[in-house]
Amino acid sequence: MTDLSNPNKLKFEELDDETAVALFRYWREGGKVQFWSLSENWMYTSSPSWLANSVYRAKPVPVTQDSIDWSHVAPKAKRSRTCWQRLKGS
């Protein structure tokens, strides 16, 4: 899976082809795209211009805490949850 978060704020022209195409496809399929504005913050755009010297990224999806009452879950499933959390790094 291609990382579309662009943590290094690379310009569109600096992205490798795979990432640029994946970002465009993500937007075309309804994903939210942001650009780095002159006021130095991320702004949402409904129709990116895809300018070579502009910086774009997929809008991050907020991570939420578990909302399940784990006391009712079988011990085997709880172990799976713990393993999954270790894999995610949480």
Angle at 71 between CA 69 and CA 74, to 5 degrees: 110
Question: What is the predicted pLDDT for the residue at 90?
Answer: 47
Q: Does residue 51 form part of some domain?
A: yes
pLDDT, one tens digit per residue, over 28-74 is 999 999 999 999 999 999 999 999 999 999 998 777 776 777 677 77
Burial pattern 57-90, b for ≥16 Cβ within 10 A else e, equals bbbeeeeeeeeeeeeeeeeeeeeeeeeeeeeeee
Q: Does residue 7 form part of some domain?
A: no
* Total tally of structural domains belonging to the chain: 1
Q: Does residue 52 form part of some domain?
A: yes
0.85 cut: is pTM over it? no
Question: What is the predicted pLDDT for the residue at 76?
Answer: 66
Which range marks the domain in which residue 16 is found?
Answer: 12-58
Q: Does residue 83 form part of some domain?
A: no
Q: Does residue 67 form part of some domain?
A: no
Q: Does residue 2 form part of some domain?
A: no
Q: Which of 19, 1, 88 is nearest to 57 (CA)?
A: 19
Asked if 81 and 70 touch (Cβ cutoff 8 Å), the reply is yes
